[in-house]
Amino acid sequence: AQRVTQPEKLLSVFKGAPVELKCNYSYSGSPELFWYVQYSRQRLQLLLRHISRESIKGFTADLNKGETSFHLKKPFAQEEDSAMYYCALMVNSGYALNFGKGTSLLVTP
């Protein structure tokens, strides 16, 4: 069953504009959430996780348990942010990640 929903397949913004990639989850336990990014021709890599509460490459994500959301935000998008972004939820007692279908972000000049 799909536990992570990313409603947008493609998001296109202009350079310098704010960007928000949406992620909603369904999980009865205490969620452990991540954002992964895949740049063109590169391996999938961790961008950030909610428990570390840090900002990576200007991106932040806040866990909202009331709305069951973990949206990824950046105030000013850069062209190098163009990539595929996946939201993921840790399930199965901390072993595996359940991924959303991904959002392709395109930042145009």
Tell me 51's DSSP state: G
Q: How far apart are alpha carbons 35 and 23 in whole angstroms? A: 9
The residue among 17 and 96 lying less far from another protein, judged by its C-beta, is 96
Site for another protein contains 17 (CB under 8 A): no
**Interaction of residue 90 with another protein, rule CB under 8 A:** yes
Binding residue for another protein, selected from 59, 102, 105, 107, defined by CB under 8 A: 102
23-82: contacts with another protein (CB under 8 A): 32, 34, 43-46, 49
Closest distance of CB 96 from another protein, Å: 5
Backbone angles phi and psi of 57, in degrees to 5: 55, 30
Q: Return the beta strands (E) in the chain as ranges.
A: 4-5, 10-14, 19-21, 24-25, 33-38, 45-49, 60-61, 72-74, 83-91, 96-99, 103-108
CB nearer another protein, residue 50 or residue 73: 50
Q: Which residues bind another protein (CB under 8 A)?
A: 6, 9, 32, 34, 43-46, 49, 86, 90, 92-102
